Amino acid sequence: AGLLQQEINLELITPSVSAFHLDSRTLKIDVDVLDKQRAPRYCGVTLTGLSIQDSPLWLQNRLKAIGLSPINNIVDVTNYVLHELGQPLHAFDAAKISGNKIEVRTLPKGTKFTTLDEVERVLHEEDLMICDAEKPMCIAGVFGGINSGVTEETTSIFLESAYFDPVSIRKTAKRHGLNTDASFRFERGIDPNITEYALKRAVLLILEVAGGEVSSDVVDAYPNKIEDYQVVMSFENAKRLIGEEIPRETIKSILTSLEIKVNNVTETGLGLTVPAYRNDVQREADIIEEILRVYGYNRVPTAEKLNASVSYSSQYEDHRLQNVIGDMLVAKGCFEMMTNSLTTDKYAELTEQINAEEVVTLLNPLSQDLASLRQSMLFSTLETVSYNINRQQVNLKLFEFGKTYGLKEAEFREDKHLALVITGEKNPESWTLESQRSDFFELKGLVQAVIKRLGIHYQDISSVENDYFSEGLTIKVKGKSLVDFGPVKQSVLKSFGIEQPVLFADFNWDMALELAPLSTLSYEDIPKYPEVRRDFALLLDEHVSFDTINTIARKTERKLLKSVNLFDVYQGGKLPKGKKSYAVSFILQDKKKTLTDKQIDKIMARLQANFEKEVGAELR
């Protein structure tokens, strides 16, 4: 179609197979197709007196030009015809076909079969197989067996050319995790009427490059001919779907160039015959799509008038909030990533956070590494980190808005997340800046910046419970976790080949959407009255955290206490064993008046008393 639609007149000339002829009937191999539904057409012929060797240079060069490595003259011819005509072929060593018989059938579930890659595979009862009188030789349309292929000692072959059911081949290929040139074409549908022609074309090429003779009649098991598709197309429907009336002569010209036969023409439409190999064109809408594709989408003018409606939601729109937070993170030096929601089941071994009973698995996965939907954002994030580190991109600040998936009590669920990850150096290498590694406090700053920009208020901070963190924090609102963050365990990083520290944060984005206020940002006047700072040097047990001090302080004074800051930590020296010293500053402010010394002293006395009562603190 591409050649016929050019402005200059190009004629597509297919290779002639008129020279094909029978030399003898010295090696007859019977063919019995027992599963005609999965193998509607099966052709084959035997050749003897062959010489297996390297292909001539012209054949090798043509294969190399399309990215294929030459193997030997027989295999090279089958690959050449595959790419020339789109028809997969397979050559069996005739000497290895027991009983001189080919059977096309399925085998019992659990049958073991070793393929060319030396992998033993367990067959499904729906896998179509090419067998001889005793054993399976090939997974039909997908992959050959290890003991039936062409070798240097081969002198005779049975050459197969067939049309297999696309759905059957696709399911078999997915079940075994195989994606070959043959299965790629079979599962998309090939031309069932080219089967014998491709076989004869390959035979003539083999005789040219390997010698030998045709030693049997061509077997063609084709009991039920696959008919072409009959479609009626309405000119009115074509105009309605395309949005413009294309001249009828142009339509007929386009269809003819696509090898779609125009049987009859009426005032209202066309009666068409679509070739059987075009299994993607079976309806009127498919025909119209093909016409527009060749005619050119860009030739259809855009409507001058566009109707649209504006909707209102009582909740914050997800994409708007994503844009706000995404822009902020980019401004802080982060890059957005997009990872695959499909993952491998083996990651469940790295954490107890993944419940194997809740994993959503795919029925026909592309591979075992993409066999299930993720339950955590961490592992797809670490795959991205590992990928970048392996390509010398070691300083990373990345984020992603994504989903995790689960199955609980026969119900599927999808949870939205925001993932943050940092690793490597804080700043690019420069003579003006001292090298400094990304650390927990840098990640904490990003987490707090996100929460602040969301407009969410919180006071509940506790130690993280997720077992893939070596340590870390959880910020909770109303008893539910909003975000977990901290450094990832070395044992987890090791599974991804990552040797440098990685820090990770996981936001519950569904919860963020619920908590984020719908109103826009509001502004406050700068307070007219001054802040007051007071400092405490507290002697504490070494297990007491600053989070505990902060929580006690804010419970003690909820109205006037604006901030609590830890500005020094001291251990050792003359301090008692098991003790440490915290230097903590407290900022007090009243928006309506200036605080008096009496008020300030009263607040500080209450703070001192509660520190002593709650954690046994002493003033130094």
State pLDDT tens for residues 202-261. Answer: 999 999 999 999 999 999 999 999 999 999 999 999 999 998 899 999 999 999 989 899
**What mean pLDDT do residues 81-109 have?**
95
- Answer whether residue 336 is part of any domain: yes
User: Any bridge partners for residue 335, and if so which?
Assistant: 398
**What mean pLDDT do residues 295-324 have?**
78
Q: What is the DSSP string of 452-518?
A: HHHT----EEEE---TTBSS-EEEEETTEEEEEEEEBPHHHHHTTT--S-EEEEEEEHHHHHHHS-S
0.85 exceeded by pTM:
no
User: How crowded is residue 222: how many other Cβ atoms within 10 Å of its Cβ?
Assistant: 18
Residues 329 and 412 both lie in one domain = yes
pLDDT band, very low/low/confident/very high, at 10 (cuts 50, 70, 90): low
Last residue in a domain, options 299, 330, 353: 299
**What mean pLDDT do residues 365-390 have?**
88
- Answer whether residue 311 is part of any domain: no
**Domain of residue 195, residue span:** 30-221
Contact 74, 210 (CB under 8 A): yes
- Answer whether residue 80 is part of any domain: yes
pLDDT at position 309 over 90: no
pLDDT at position 519 over 70: no
User: How crowded is residue 487: how many other Cβ atoms within 10 Å of its Cβ?
Assistant: 19
Q: Which long-range contacts (CB under 8 A, 24 or more apart) does 279-284 make?
A: 279/166, 279/189, 280/189, 281/229, 281/231, 282/229, 282/231, 283/231, 284/231, 284/232, 284/233, 284/234, 284/237
Euclidean distance between CA atoms 22 and 16, whole angstroms: 16
Q: What is the CATH number of the domain that holds 272?
A: 3.30.56.10
**What mean pLDDT do residues 495-520 have?**
88
**What mean pLDDT do residues 133-148 have?**
94
- Return all residues near 76 (Cβ < 8 A) that are at least 6 apart: 55, 59, 60, 63, 70, 209
Return the pLDDT at 316: 57
pLDDT band, very low/low/confident/very high, at 521 (cuts 50, 70, 90): low
Return the pLDDT at 587: 94
Euclidean distance between CA atoms 51 and 212, whole angstroms: 7
Return the pLDDT at 556: 93
pLDDT at position 573 over 60: yes
Contact 363, 469 (CB under 8 A): no
Euclidean distance between CA atoms 403 and 419, whole angstroms: 10
Residues 348 and 497 both lie in one domain = yes
- How much of the chain exceeds pLDDT 70, in percent? 96
Contact 101, 122 (CB under 8 A): no
Contact 164, 38 (CB under 8 A): yes
SS3 per-residue string spanning 438-452: CCHHHHHHHHHHHHH
Residues 190 and 65 both lie in one domain = yes
Residues 144 and 245 both lie in one domain = no
Euclidean distance between CA atoms 378 and 504, whole angstroms: 8
Contact 175, 142 (CB under 8 A): no
**What mean pLDDT do residues 415-427 have?**
93
Residues 276 and 359 both lie in one domain = no
Contact 615, 540 (CB under 8 A): yes
Residues 88 and 139 both lie in one domain = yes
Which value, to the nearest 10 degrees, does the dihedral of the CA atoms of residues 456, 461, 466, 471 take?
120
pLDDT band, very low/low/confident/very high, at 458 (cuts 50, 70, 90): confident
Find, among 250, 245, 233, the residue nearest to 300 by Cα: 245
- Return all residues near 331 (Cβ < 8 A) that are at least 6 apart: none
Gyration radius from the chain CA atoms: 36
Beta strand extents in 509-574 (DSSP E only):
532-541, 561-571
Residues 352 and 496 both lie in one domain = yes
**What mean pLDDT do residues 65-85 have?**
95
Q: Could you read off the pLDDT of 19-34 as tens digits, one per residue?
A: 999 999 999 999 999 9
Three-state DSSP class for residue 325:
helix
Return the pLDDT at 1: 47
pLDDT at position 615 over 50: yes
- Answer whether residue 234 is part of any domain: yes
**What mean pLDDT do residues 420-429 have?**
88
Euclidean distance between CA atoms 445 and 473, whole angstroms: 13
pLDDT at position 315 over 90: no
Which tokens belong to 370? 């993409």
**What mean pLDDT do residues 325-354 have?**
89
- Return all residues near 18 (Cβ < 8 A) that are at least 6 apart: none
Q: Identify the residue whose tokens are 């070793």.
A: 114
* Number of domain units in the chain: 4
Return the pLDDT at 110: 94
- Answer whether residue 17 is part of any domain: no
pLDDT at position 394 over 60: yes
Return the biggest CA–CA distance within the chain.
118
Last residue in a domain, options 161, 196, 221: 221
pLDDT at position 447 over 90: yes
Residues 196 and 247 both lie in one domain = no
**What mean pLDDT do residues 429-441 have?**
84
pLDDT band, very low/low/confident/very high, at 518 (cuts 50, 70, 90): low
Mean pLDDT over the full length of the chain: 90
Three-state DSSP class for residue 195:
helix
- Return all residues near 140 (Cβ < 8 A) that are at least 6 apart: 38, 39, 104, 128, 129, 130, 162, 164, 169, 172
Q: Could you read off the pLDDT of 174-200 as tens digits, one per residue?
A: 889 888 999 999 999 999 999 999 999
pLDDT at position 314 over 60: no
pLDDT band, very low/low/confident/very high, at 51 (cuts 50, 70, 90): very high
More confident residue, 408 or 459: 408
- Answer whether residue 172 is part of any domain: yes
Residues 79 and 161 both lie in one domain = yes
Return the pLDDT at 397: 96
pLDDT band, very low/low/confident/very high, at 517 (cuts 50, 70, 90): confident
Residues 511 and 376 both lie in one domain = yes
Q: Could you read off the pLDDT of 540-553 as tens digits, one per residue?
A: 998 898 888 988 99
- How much of the chain exceeds pLDDT 90, in percent? 69
Beta strand extents in 222-268 (DSSP E only):
229-234, 261-265
- Answer whether residue 10 is part of any domain: no
Residues 267 and 390 both lie in one domain = no
Q: How would you classify the pairing of strands 213-214 and 41-48?
A: antiparallel
Q: Could you read off the pLDDT of 280-300 as tens digits, one per residue?
A: 899 999 999 999 999 999 988
End-to-end CA distance of the chain, in Å? 90
- Answer whether residue 159 is part of any domain: yes
Of 126-130, 353-357, 424-428, 579-583, which gets the smallest average pLDDT? 353-357
Return the pLDDT at 313: 58
Specify burial of residue 166 (Cβ count, 10 A radius: 0-12, 13-18, 19+): middle
Residues 282 and 429 both lie in one domain = no
Euclidean distance between CA atoms 511 and 523, whole angstroms: 25
User: How crowded is residue 66: how many other Cβ atoms within 10 Å of its Cβ?
Assistant: 9
pLDDT at position 524 over 80: no
pLDDT at position 86 over 70: yes
Q: What is the CATH number of the domain that holds 511?
A: 3.30.930.10
Euclidean distance between CA atoms 180 and 118, whole angstroms: 15
Of 9-18, 31-40, 136-145, which gets the smallest average pLDDT? 9-18
Return the pLDDT at 346: 83
Euclidean distance between CA atoms 609 and 613, whole angstroms: 6
User: Any bridge partners for residue 484, and if so which?
Assistant: 474, 506
- Tell me the backbone φ, ψ of residue 466, rounded to 5 degrees: -65, 130
Q: What is the CATH number of the domain that holds 580?
A: 3.30.70.380
pLDDT at position 4 over 70: no
Q: What is the CATH number of the domain that holds 180?
A: 3.50.40.10
